[in-house]
Amino acid sequence: MEQTFAVKLEEKRYTPDPRCRAAARVPDYAQAYSEFMRDPEGFWDRIARELAWFRPWDRVREWNYPYARWFVDAKLNITYNCLDRHAAGERKDKPAIVWRGEDGAERTFTYEDLYREVMRFANGLKALGVGKGDRVCIYMPLVPEQVVAMLACARIGAVHSVVFGGFGAGALAMRINDAGAKILVTADVGYRRGKTVPLREIATEALASAPSVKRVVVLRRESRGPDLDPAREVDYMALTAEAAPDCPAEVMDAEDPLFILYTSGSTGAPKGIVHTCAGYMVGTYYTTKCVFDVRESDVFWCTADPGWITGHSYIVYGPLAVGTTVVIAEGTPDYPDPGAYWRLVQDLGVTIFYTAPTAIRMFMRYGDEWPAKYNLSTLRVLGSVGEPLNPEAFEWYYHRIGGGRCPVVDTWWQTETGMHMVTTMVGEAMKPGFAGKPIPGAVVDVVDRMGNPVPPGTGGFLVIREPWPAMLRTVHGNDERYRTYWETIPGCYTAGDLAVKDEEGYIMVIGRADDLIVVAGHNIGTAEVESALVSHEAVAEAAVIGKPDALKGNVIKAFVTLRVGANPGDDLAEELARHVKKNLGPVAVPAEIEYMDRLPKTRSGKIMRRVLKARELGMDPGDISTLEE
Ligand code: WTA
């Protein structure tokens, strides 16, 4: 985007019952925000004191632009707060995780159970030679053991890198190599729509080009599970059965890394976003408690996979630090039928429900009769994340799912931010189409290229002006890429999103400003898909754009030029789709592939995706003075 632009803003608003506002954890947003602004360090200091520490901090924050340290010199272990604290107290017998399998199987872990499981697996990892600072890659289906594996790493100070179980072998290998993981934790299979996903097979293929991995832990779910390769593979159950039951929490420094999580980059390879222990813990704890307004009796269901940041922050660390009951379910929203989610809400008495706009739009398409069949009266707070919640989807969610009773918190944040940054806090007036305002604790603005705030109604770049506790600390192995976030617009962290504010300061997020495509809430880098296409022998060059889609937000359209001798046609298009799927996984597969004689390029040889996009969408391509001819 070269300039700012005007945006027409909707006027509609929903003002909650004053009782809802009075009862909220943050009953007066404006007051809480100004208290935060008056004394940011005091604000975070008070929140951090609600948690347990092995040693307190000397200073809340140290800001050496663009590097921040939070809770300086404090010692802690995040799992002590997620597990020990509850298992030793009144939440001992409270369900921590309630898991539902696709076939309806159910498993419940109390806080005491989870604590024991995590310690056993942590000892298992130690027995395999894993220690503080070692990287462990977790490539699993959505089962309790996925969460256990994450917590077990954190318990012993190993750095986890969770790779979503929907990724293909190429994406997995790249992530293992970049992180230098020495252990891989996987499962024989995942289940999806009644079929099995052969995770171990995919992992084995990935390991052929990922030599850093020395041992593989395999969770065997199928009764006729695979024979393991004794030289490399270990059975998950055998490993934990042999392990000692007690594993004290490793004493971690506030700034020790907690995990690496890969997110798509616009310039090629995915970026390994690094989060550290203390700030991430405090940020996710606070936002879970205050944005979702969590109470002791809540049953919290975030429908994400722990393999995404949403799962890290709002399935695992935030909710467990707060001590709530977390529901996890393996399966898709419309399998075996489009009532699957609502049945689960009814069966388990879910009170807080957090999902993505793409799922909401899918439910809208299936019709009102599906949610109407179930008792959804336990729901109290609804959340949305991953892409803009368009006004139509907001209305449907608010009325059909929330019965017009439940606040909808549309939370804007990123893998990089680690925690929520913008939303409409429970009790505040909601405006469909707008995520809301910066939460107390975040300083967010919409600015021009120079960092000057743009007037209301004018689009600009979404930026964060001050460091925050759960911010990324670096990009693994590429600190320069980290600095770019803070150096693109002077004095600010640039999120890469376009946004607009209204007169009251509500922020509407419009979409990505860079070469990322958000498909069904998943960030896909154009470069990643292009390089997967080009890795096929028939393809010479590829350019990929996002095309608006009523259901998925965006779908991928690929333009390819072929090598001489290759035959354009449907067979090849199908083969290319399979090729991308194998490399990157199903979310990255182009919905459309178009053959071209050549791609529009700049004189310096950069593919001009916006020209393709403009043509595709019938828009003005903007400045094309740099076009090749
Ligand atoms: C988009 C997911 C509008 C945005 C937590 C952001 C959103 C990217 C919202 C980060 C929202 C996320 N409204 N857009 N409420 N939430 N996004 O790293 O473009 O997977 O930059 O983190 O998703 O995606 P990521």
Torsion of CA 95, 350, 52, 44, to 10 degrees: 180
Q: Is the CB of 411 under 6 A from ligand 1?
A: yes
- How far, in Å, CA of 97 to CA of 94, rounded? 9
Query: Bigger pLDDT: 180 or 194?
Result: 180
Query: Bigger pLDDT: 178 or 265?
Result: 178
Average pLDDT of the chain is 92
The answer to whether residue 484 scores a pLDDT higher than 50 is yes
Q: Is the CB of 495 under 6 A from ligand 1?
A: yes
pLDDT at 365: 83
- Helix, strand, or coil (residue 318): helix
Q: Is the CB of 546 under 6 A from ligand 1?
A: no
The answer to whether residue 529 scores a pLDDT higher than 90 is no
Residue nearest to atom 14 of ligand 1 (CA): 387
- CA 528, distance to chain mean position in Å, is 18
- The residue to mutate among 162, 411, 412, having the most atoms of ligand 1 within 8 angstroms of its beta carbon, is 412
Q: Is the CB of 385 under 6 A from ligand 1?
A: yes
Q: Omega of the bond prior to 66 within 30 degrees of 0, cis?
A: yes
pLDDT at 564: 83
Q: Which of 59-68, 292-301, 576-585 has the lowest mean pLDDT?
A: 576-585
pLDDT 10s digits, 329-363: 998 888 999 999 999 999 999 999 999 988 898 89
pLDDT at 624: 58
Alpha-helical (H) ranges within 210-305 are 236-242, 277-291
pLDDT at 584: 86
Q: Omega of the bond prior to 336 within 30 degrees of 0, cis?
A: yes
Q: For the residues 43-62, what does the mean pLDDT come to? A: 98
Q: Which of 28-32, 304-308, 490-494, 518-522 has the lowest mean pLDDT?
A: 518-522
pLDDT at 385: 95
| DSSP code of residue 312 | I
Q: Is the CB of 388 under 6 A from ligand 1?
A: yes
The answer to whether residue 227 scores a pLDDT higher than 70 is yes
pLDDT 10s digits, 435-477: 999 999 999 999 998 999 999 988 889 999 999 999 999 999 9
- How far, in Å, CA of 455 to CA of 570, rounded? 49
Give distance in angstroms: CA of 56 to centre of ligand 1.
33
- How far, in Å, CA of 453 to CA of 435, rounded? 18
- How far, in Å, CA of 542 to CA of 519, rounded? 18
- How far, in Å, CA of 53 to CA of 425, rounded? 28
Backbone angles phi and psi of 231, in degrees to 5: -70, -30
- How far, in Å, CA of 4 to CA of 97, rounded? 46
Q: Is the CB of 204 under 6 A from ligand 1?
A: no
| C-alpha neighbours within 13 Å on the C-beta side of residue 37 | 11
Residue 313, class by beta-carbon neighbours within 10 Å (0-12 exposed, 13-18 middle, 19+ buried)?
buried
Q: Is the CB of 512 under 6 A from ligand 1?
A: yes
pLDDT at 447: 94
Residue nearest to atom 24 of ligand 1 (CA): 414
Residue nearest to atom 22 of ligand 1 (CA): 414
pLDDT 10s digits, 264-279: 765 557 899 999 999 9
pLDDT 10s digits, 9-33: 667 899 988 888 899 999 999 999 9
Taking phi first (over 0 means left), then psi (-120 to 50 degrees means alpha), and beta for anything else, what does residue 353 get?
beta
Q: Is the CB of 394 under 6 A from ligand 1?
A: no
pLDDT 10s digits, 404-431: 999 999 999 999 999 999 999 999 999 9
pLDDT at 2: 38
Give distance in angstroms: CA of 186 to centre of ligand 1.
27
pLDDT at 516: 76
- The residue to mutate among 288, 387, 394, 501, having the most atoms of ligand 1 within 8 angstroms of its beta carbon, is 387
Q: Which of 210-214, 360-364, 527-531, 625-629 has the lowest mean pLDDT?
A: 625-629
- How far, in Å, CA of 121 to CA of 619, rounded? 55
Ligand 1 atom nearest to CA at 509: 3
Q: Is the CB of 518 under 6 A from ligand 1?
A: yes
Residue nearest to atom 13 of ligand 1 (CA): 388
Alpha-helical (H) ranges within 415-538 are 479-487, 526-534
| DSSP code of residue 412 | B
Q: Is the CB of 354 under 6 A from ligand 1?
A: no
Q: Is the CB of 433 under 6 A from ligand 1?
A: no
Residue nearest to atom 5 of ligand 1 (CA): 414
Enumerate residues 6+ apart whose C-beta is below 8 A from 505: 437
Structure tokens at 553: 């937000």
R_g (Cα) of the chain, nearest Å: 24
Beta pairing class for 422-423 and 437-438: antiparallel
pLDDT at 265: 60
Give distance in angstroms: CA of 470 to centre of ligand 1.
16
Kindly report whether the global pTM for this prediction surpasses the value 0.85. yes
Give distance in angstroms: CA of 436 to centre of ligand 1.
14
Q: Is the CB of 523 under 6 A from ligand 1?
A: yes
Give distance in angstroms: CA of 303 to centre of ligand 1.
15
pLDDT at 143: 97
Q: Is the CB of 97 under 6 A from ligand 1?
A: no
**Among 180, 224, 230, 233, which residue's Cα sits nearest to residue 203?**
233
What percentage of residues in the chain have a pLDDT greater than 70? 95
Backbone angles phi and psi of 81, in degrees to 5: -75, -30
